[in-house]
Amino acid sequence: MAECNGAAHNHGMKTLIAFSLLTTAALGQSVESLYQKHCSHCHGVKFQGGNAQSLIDGVWQFGDSTGHISRNIKFGITHLGMPGYENTLTDKQIRSLVDYLKDAEKSAGAVKPPIPATLQTLDYHIQVETFAKDLDMPWDIAFLNKDTALITERSGQLRVYADGQLYSKPVEGTPEVVSEGQGGLLAVAFDPDYLEEGNQWIYLAYSHELDPQPNGKRTPAMTRIVRGRIDGNSWTNQQVIFEAPHDTYRTTRHHYGTRIVFDKEKNLYFSIGDRGTGAHAQDPAKPNGKIHRIQRDGSIPSDNPYRRTKGAVKSIFTLGNRNPQGLSFHPVTDELWASEHGPLGGDEINLISKGRNYGWPIITYGRNYNGSIITELTHQEGMEQPIWYWNPSTAVCGIDFYSGDLFPKWNNKLLVGALKYEDVRVLSIEDHRVVHEEVILKNAGRVRDVCCGPDGAVYVVLNDPGTILKLTPQKK
């Protein structure tokens, strides 16, 4: 990683030092001295890197927002040797350090590297192509076949990809969504029998808002599932197949879940996050903090675990789930797996079984974003342990088991995307244990979803930039 130098650099450094002295005089020492004392021995006296990465190369390995960098400094990344400074530096000093680093990056003219054209992994040399671009916060992609796909944009658009191109106009007449916070148009899926005559059902999950409230109050919202058809380029024949009781809707704008998947019996599964109210994840009378199972017309399977429980939401399949944003069935065992966002630490991969309790917020490997303790417990009788967890959090998101001919050594391995860490990982799983983890793509953008297409290629849905990548074996 190149070290910045020259007159422009010297001028920029003088400006930064002056800024630091002015803004942090009350702290008793300049931000420059804080950096030199605590950071320079790993990151270099001029930010150029050394034992740790450069801070002026446009790449932030563990999240580039002010909040992410602040928490990394405060709590550390201990498994990689970076200590936490919560007992050494004040929050004000940490925030000043982050501003200082951001200004140094700007002064150095740092630019994030472009998306790589090739990748090298343990098993394959990979070609990286752009499948679709200029999307508005893409969230999910579903393939009908190798030539046809649907893409959701969180702002509310449903896009069609066919015959090698992305249609310029979104599908007309799709449901109105709450495009605010983490809400919007989220999951999309084709019916397992889509190609049969008279079927052609397409399923959507989105944040649904109730009628506007008086006095300008925020309107309650919740995850809703509908199905409909596309006729020409218009959404038609819509049917609501899951809508939570309106008194359970929440005014928060985060933790909606969700993905849509089908098992071999063609039951439909979807997730709803806790909507910011962790205690609801343990309450069968609430839909949030759960994974749900319904039949394709919205009816309840006869063996759902809470079907006969008075007052319970009948579609609940599991509870105690904080915010699952990845669901995938194993191609051989047909077991359902889920990825789940933790708080500060404690992102999870879970093996999902009917009626089980996954613990949130009674047990967790994470803590609150301010560092305070949520619970002292990581285990409790009657609550499931994750198969795998990350601490610090990667902001784990979409997952998919690989099944195809292009990367045969990855068959039955789990592809995992991450938002904060901007990476795609391949997890090798044996006997319900993760035995190996490999990062195959890093810093191309926030990874919202990753999936195996019907052609065997790996498709990676990126936010910032709004792009979908296609990974194939490199041609020899």
User: Residue 162, Cα to own-chain centre: how many angstroms?
Assistant: 26
Q: How many CB atoms lie within 10 A of CB 248?
A: 17
Q: b/e map of 442-466 (b: 16 or more CB within 10 Å)?
A: bbbbbbbbbbbbeebbbbbbbbeeb
Cα–Cα distance, 371 to 17 (Å, whole number): 30
List, edge to edge, every strand of the sheet that includes 324-329.
Answer: 324-329, 336-340, 347-352, 388-390
406: Cβ–Cβ under 8 A, 6 or more apart, which residues?
455, 456, 457, 472, 473
Tokens for 252, please give them: 């928060």
Concerning whether 255 is annotated as a catalytic residue, the answer is yes
Q: How many CB atoms lie within 10 A of CB 119?
A: 17
CA distances from 25 to 20, 46, 92, 279, 444 (A): 8, 22, 12, 44, 38
Closest by alpha carbon to 339, among 400, 424, 262? Answer: 400
197: Cβ–Cβ under 8 A, 6 or more apart, which residues?
none
List, edge to edge, every strand of the sheet that includes 158-162.
Answer: 138-145, 148-153, 158-162, 165-166
Q: Are 89 and 362 in contact (CB under 8 A)?
A: no
408: Cβ–Cβ under 8 A, 6 or more apart, which residues?
none
Cα–Cα distance, 216 to 211 (Å, whole number): 12
Out of 68, 255, 280, 292, pick the active-site residue.
255
Q: How many helices (H) and strands (E) does the chain have?
A: 5, 25
Cα–Cα distance, 238 to 233 (Å, whole number): 14
Cα–Cα distance, 133 to 207 (Å, whole number): 24
Cα–Cα distance, 355 to 320 (Å, whole number): 10
Q: Active-site positions?
A: 255
